[in-house]
Amino acid sequence: MTSAQVDGTKNSDGAYVGSAKVTLTAADDDSGVEKVEYSLDSGPYLAYTTPVVVDRVGRHTVAYRATDKAGNTSEAQAIAFTVAEGGGVPAPACPEWDERLTVIVGTVDTGVPNRITRSRCTINELIEDEKDWSSHALFLKHVTAVTDKLLADGVIDQREYRAINKAAKQSGIGKPGQGEGYRPLFDGTKKSFDKWQHVGGGAFGLNDDGSMTSDTSVEGMGMLWFPQRTYDDFSLKLQFRDDAPGTGNANGGVFVRFPYVHDHPEESRPEWVAIKYGHEVQILDRPDGDMYKTGSIYGFDRVGLAGAGVTPKGSWNDYEIRVVGQHFSIYRNGVLLNEFENTGGQEFTPPRADDPGTDGRRYSSGYIGLQVHSTDDVISYRDIRIKEL
């Protein structure tokens, strides 16, 4: 049996002020408990040894499980809570989100504890190994600068300094042939799928062939989003397939450039934060119904069926979304379908109550998500990757 308890000072809204402490306990009357593990905000499972202190402002989920000495692992449970600002201190402006136990550069594990630094970011977050580095030398220079400061601040010692810089050299990050600058967000593995987080209705499931497909039994509209970090200018590439039942067509879409979805001051529904404050790049090959077809910027820039590059249903399609500044370019199977300039003053069409138009969508960076529309709008995705421009 496993259980979780969250402690801290709550405000009038029930949020924990400044930080929350999560304590996990487990018991097994037969063979005894071998280990307890936890996952913070859909991150990797880590060994639990001491209470987990969460001090970043926002909504958080801690999943936890236990394994007995006979090798049996309990079904994961989860507890969710919100951390509010304490004393006016905002969440740290870290370039990435990475709370793994040790410092890992690319795929090289240094064994160095991934400590919180004076900036309140972890060492991994400051190293930025997920960023698209134009050269290996530039990445090494960056790592040296970061570790120089960490050494001076007493965060790491000389041995750890050498280990991190050695790992940077071994990582090959920035060298030619490292995925042509594209980094995988979903590569078909459970590890990459678990980095995404679902909000709202519906669901996505991982398939044995390395794709993901929207669920046919979980009702409602929702979104699977990548909460690990935001992106400024980028090229996002993926493949999608219309798997709607019968003769129907799936209504789906890719959300880009939206803000953090939890505890938004204007919208309490997380999936609607992306709908109202980001842009949806539509996927829909249906000949009737919604006027916005594949390649459209939903609500603002319409692509008709004749310009959507429709392929036979059940085919995998390449989709690329390029966002530079406020300019959007949408490609399907290598063909440019649409270009959109996200200037201010444009209204959502057809009109929707309380929609802010483009004035509320002109972010210079944001998150990425995949829409699930309904149980009939069955759609699959695979090979999701991104390159920073």
For residue 177, is pLDDT > 70?
no
Q: What integer is the mean pLDDT of 124-153?
A: 89
pLDDT at 119: 81
pLDDT at 347: 96
pLDDT at 225: 97
More confident residue, 121 or 167: 167
Q: For the chain, what is the largest distance between any 2 Cα atoms, rounded to a whole number of angstroms?
A: 66
pLDDT tens-digit map of 28-44: 888 899 999 998 876 66
What tokens does 154 get? 């007493």
Give the 3-state secondary structure of residue 140.
helix
Q: Which of 47-56, 142-151, 268-277, 317-326 has the lowest mean pLDDT?
A: 47-56
- State how beta strands 77-84 and 16-17 pair: parallel
> At CA 296, angle to CA 290 and CA 302, rounded to 5?
70
Q: What integer is the mean pLDDT of 166-171?
A: 94
Mean pLDDT of the chain: 90
For residue 200, is pLDDT > 60?
yes
Q: What integer is the mean pLDDT of 346-368?
A: 94
For the chain, give the percent of residues with pLDDT over 70: 94
Question: What band does 12 get if pLDDT is binned at 50, 70 and 90?
Answer: confident
Question: What band does 91 get if pLDDT is binned at 50, 70 and 90?
Answer: low
350, amino acid identity: P
d(CA 223, CA 343) in angstroms, rounded, equals 26
pTM of the predicted structure, to 2 decimals: 0.60
More confident residue, 55 or 346: 346
Q: What integer is the mean pLDDT of 148-175?
A: 92
For residue 89, is pLDDT > 70?
no
Q: Pick from 219, 280, 276: which is nearest to 252 by CA?
A: 280
387, amino acid identity: K
pLDDT tens-digit map of 290-331: 999 999 999 999 999 999 999 888 888 999 999 999 999 999
Q: Pick from 41, 345, 371: which is nearest to 201 by CA?
A: 371
For the chain, give the percent of residues with pLDDT over 90: 67
Question: What band does 183 get if pLDDT is binned at 50, 70 and 90?
Answer: confident
What tokens does 208 get? 């044995």
- Domain coordinates in residue numbering, the chain: 2-84, 102-177, 182-388
Which position has the token pair 């290598």? 334
Q: Pick from 215, 237, 250, 245: which is nearest to 334 by CA?
A: 237
Where would I find the beta strands (DSSP E) of 33-96? Answer: 33-40, 46-47, 52-54, 58-68, 77-84
Fold of 2-84: Immunoglobulin-like (2.60.40)
Handedness of CA 284, 290, 295, 300 (dihedral sign): negative
DSSP state of 74: P
More confident residue, 200 or 55: 200
CATH number of the domain located at residue range(s) 182-388 in this protein: 2.60.120.560
pLDDT tens-digit map of 54-73: 887 778 889 999 999 999 99
d(CA 174, CA 130) in angstroms, rounded, equals 10
pLDDT tens-digit map of 217-243: 999 999 999 998 999 999 999 999 999
What tokens does 115 get? 């400590």
Range ranked top by mean pLDDT from 36-50, 171-185, 231-245: 231-245
Query: Chain centroid to CA 375: how far?
Result: 23
